A = this chain, B = another copy of it.
Amino acid sequence: MRHFSMKWFKSNIQVQTRGKGLYNFTDQVESLVGEWRVQEGICHLFIQHTSASLVISESYDPSARIDLENFMEKLAPENQVWFQHVLEGADDSPSHMRSMLTDTSVSIPIDGKELSLGTWQGIYLFEHRARGHLRNILIRCLETS
């Protein structure tokens, strides 16, 4: 336990996608935390979209990522006859379903000037639309040291 003086850091991260899939942007988050020299605290990420989402997952073997992408295609498939929301394309309603099943916000501790991710963890943006988009993620760090 420790009393401390607190600091607040804020920025946003942009990820340009090239259609559906998982995009690892751990480096961009770590780079900001490093630049801000946050010694200890917590890092909040928030994605401002309803057809792209956040996932913290295995970042070592690319085949694990491909399985996650294919799994999502099967779990929330396109072109279902019961869809009512179809005006924006076959991939739009499934994109909201896939976003709902994954994360809009995540909070990661910072210790020793680094994100306290596990050995195999990476931070991904999951693009659910078929076309590429420029996606915006808000990053907020509370320094507690």
Contacts and interface: CB of A to CB of B under 8 A. Distances in A.
Interface of A: 1-10, 36, 40-42, 44, 46-51, 55-58, 61, 63-64, 66-68, 70-71, 75-76, 82-85, 87, 92-93, 96-97, 99-109, 111, 116-121, 136, 138, 140, 142, 144-145
Contact of A57 (B99, B118, B145): B99
A46 B56 CA distance: 11
Copy count, this protein chain = 3
A136 B107 contact: no
Nearest to A136: B118
A52 to B, nearest CB: 10
A64 B87 CA distance: 10
